[in-house]
């Protein structure tokens, strides 16, 4: 069977036929053996054996297809026969021609007009019955101010010729020549192929010496050795920069604490506590760490030390002043002096706690019948006092009267 490669899907390629030789003449069913047509390009109608196309064809990829078609009886599926079918794909001109190979073309700077610089040919995967017939011409857009031309040799080849004399690689290092190639098929197909022409320095015989970038470098006065030396210097410079950057990254950073004596305690200094007081200066953090570790020689704050604060001389009673009771002014003066001394001590004490504190200093007995019960600043001893009046205060002071009254009775005895 034969089929054009341009045939659409569903085209009938041909038909096969089979019959049952037995007397009952059982009907036959047809199918394609898929082991011989893995791509499922063809299929067959089960009832009449017509082979048709399921996929498009490409002769340039596979010009022949060999398949096998089975015929089996409807009434007895074990009765099967096979027939090989060869299908030839007929060529259709569906590929345009292209250059037969890749051309490395150059033109000498001292080339003359009409000089041939390249011979070209074409190829086409199609195979027309009468053979290929290619034609060559310069593309219309390159015909204006053309530097080269194309001459067809009428034998499926063509020549590239120069149209002027003298080419300068400094002015232009290469030229692009678009060549249109057409085949003789039906319908005729054509394609535009670009030929690259380099401008080179040649000797008198037309042999190429130097081209393009290398030739330009020589014209500028740089030799190959100079270019190599420049590239080598650049590489060395880049290596030094990379090495310097790596060394800087590996350099260790200086520690934040350089001195071993730099002990950083978490102490926050408040300079304006207590309404402008600067009571946190020169604060010893050891007090907070161990409040019980106090110096043994620190003075007590609940009594007046005799060594630092000697008793003041007694003032004469001023009973006439504002009707004050005897001894009231003296006691008030003592309390004021005591508070003033304690205030001065707290202001100058560097070990004072870092917080505001309130100390209340007073004396008992002001306006009381019992007067003062404290022995502080008292010049008289306990033996100089008469406590017999305690028994007159009633049962609530009986214990106190027994303690002091008994002592007095013992002294009397």
* Tens-place pLDDT, residues 162-213: 999 989 888 889 999 999 999 988 889 999 999 999 999 988 887 888 885 5
Residue 259 domain-assigned?
A: no
Last residue of a domain, which of 90, 124, 157?
A: 90
Residue 320 domain-assigned?
A: yes
Residue 400 domain-assigned?
A: no
Q: Same domain, yes or no, for 288 and 199?
A: no
CATH number for the domain harbouring residue 47: 2.60.40.60
Q: What's the pLDDT score for residue 218?
A: 46
pTM higher than the cut 0.85: no
Q: What's the pLDDT score for residue 101?
A: 94
Q: Same domain, yes or no, for 102 and 37?
A: no
> What average pLDDT does the segment 274-283 reach?
51
Q: Same domain, yes or no, for 102 and 194?
A: yes
Beta carbons within 10 angstroms of residue 43's beta carbon: 20
Q: What's the pLDDT score for residue 260?
A: 53
Q: Same domain, yes or no, for 129 and 21?
A: no
Residue 255 domain-assigned?
A: no
* Per-residue pLDDT band at 254 (split at 50, 70, 90): low
What is the DSSP pairing of strand 42-44 with strand 50-53?
A: antiparallel
Last residue of a domain, which of 90, 106, 126?
A: 90
Q: Same domain, yes or no, for 108 and 204?
A: yes
Q: Same domain, yes or no, for 85 and 105?
A: no
- Torsion angles phi and psi, residue 336, rounded to 5: -60, -45
Q: Same domain, yes or no, for 23 and 102?
A: no
> Using one digit for the tens of pLDDT, what is the confidence trace for 24-82?
888 999 999 999 999 999 999 999 999 999 999 999 999 999 999 999 998 888 889 99
Residue 267 domain-assigned?
A: no
Distance CA 280, CA 264 (A): 17
Mean pLDDT value across the chain: 78
Q: Same domain, yes or no, for 74 and 128?
A: no
Q: Same domain, yes or no, for 176 and 63?
A: no
Q: Same domain, yes or no, for 203 and 117?
A: yes
Q: State which residues form the domain around 306.
A: 274-379
Instruction: Please report, for residues 210, 275, 276, 343, the alpha-carbon distance to residue 358 in angstroms, rounded to integers and kept in the order given.
Output: 104, 14, 16, 11
Q: Are 33 and 83 in contact (CB under 8 A)?
A: no
Total domains, the chain = 3
**DSSP class of 301:** S
* Per-residue pLDDT band at 22 (split at 50, 70, 90): confident
Dihedral angle over CA of 67, 73, 78, 83, nearest 10:
-20
Distance CA 385, CA 94 (A): 145
What is the DSSP pairing of strand 64-73 with strand 50-53?
A: unpaired
> Using one digit for the tens of pLDDT, what is the confidence trace for 112-163?
999 999 999 999 999 888 888 999 999 998 888 889 999 999 999 999 999 9
Last residue of a domain, which of 199, 219, 239?
A: 219
Residue 251 domain-assigned?
A: no
Q: Pick the closest to residue 354 from 266, 297, 287 (CA basis).
A: 287
Token pair for residue 229? 């030396």
Q: What's the pLDDT score for residue 369?
A: 55
Residue 399 domain-assigned?
A: no
**DSSP class of 154:** S
Q: Same domain, yes or no, for 200 and 112?
A: yes
Q: Same domain, yes or no, for 108 and 165?
A: yes
**Cα 37–Cα 42–Cα 43 angle in degrees, nearest 5:** 105
Residue 321 domain-assigned?
A: yes
* Per-residue pLDDT band at 350 (split at 50, 70, 90): confident
Q: What's the pLDDT score for residue 319?
A: 42
């Amino acid at each position: 069977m034969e089929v054009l490669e341009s045939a659409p899907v569903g085209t009938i390629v041909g038909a096969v036929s089979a019959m049952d030789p037995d007397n009952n003449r059982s009907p036959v069913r047809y199918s394609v053996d898929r082991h011989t047509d893995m791509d499922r390009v063809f299929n067959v109608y089960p009832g009449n054996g017509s082979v048709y196309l399921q996929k498009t064809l490409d002769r340039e990829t596979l010009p022949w297809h060999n398949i096998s078609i089975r015929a089996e009886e409807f009434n007895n599926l074990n009765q099967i026969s096979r027939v090989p079918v060869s299908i030839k794909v007929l060529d259709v001109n569906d590929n345009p021609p292209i250059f037969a190979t890749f051309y490395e073309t150059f033109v000498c700077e001292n080339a003359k007009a009409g000089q041939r610089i390249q011979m070209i040919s074409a190829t086409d995967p199609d195979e027309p019955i009468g053979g290929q017939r290619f034609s060559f011409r310069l593309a219309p857009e390159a015909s204006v101010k053309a530097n080269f031309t194309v001459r067809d040799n009428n034998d499926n080849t063509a020549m590239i010729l120069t149209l002027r004399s003298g080419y300068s690689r400094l002015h232009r290092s290469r030229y692009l020549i678009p060549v249109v190639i057409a085949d003789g098929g039906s319908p005729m197909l054509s394609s535009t192929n670009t030929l690259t022409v380099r401008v080179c320095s040649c000797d008198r015989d037309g042999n190429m010496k130097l081209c393009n970038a290398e030739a330009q470098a020589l014209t500028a006065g740089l030799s190959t050795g100079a270019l190599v030396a420049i590239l080598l210097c650049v590489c060395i410079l880049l290596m030094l920069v990379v090495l310097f950057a790596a060394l800087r990254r590996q350099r260790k950073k200086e520690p934040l604490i350089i001195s071993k004596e730099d002990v950083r305690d978490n102490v926050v200094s408040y300079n304006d506590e207590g309404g402008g007081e600067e009571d946190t200066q020169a604060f010893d953090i050891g007090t907070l760490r161990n409040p019980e570790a106090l110096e043994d020689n620190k003075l007590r704050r609940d009594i007046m030390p005799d060594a630092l604060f000697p008793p003041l001389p007694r003032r004469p009673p001023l009973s006439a002043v504002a009707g004050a009771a005897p001894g009231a002014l003296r006691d008030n003066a003592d309390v004021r002096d005591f508070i003033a001394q304690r205030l001065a001590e707290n202001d100058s004490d560097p070990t004072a706690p870092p917080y505001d504190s309130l100390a209340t200093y007073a004396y008992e007995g002001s306006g009381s019948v019992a007067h003062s019960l404290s022995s502080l600043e008292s010049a008289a001893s306990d033996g100089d006092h008469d406590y017999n009046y305690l028994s007159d205060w009633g049962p609530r002071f009986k214990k106190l009267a027994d303690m002091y009254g008994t002592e007095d009775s013992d002294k009397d005895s």
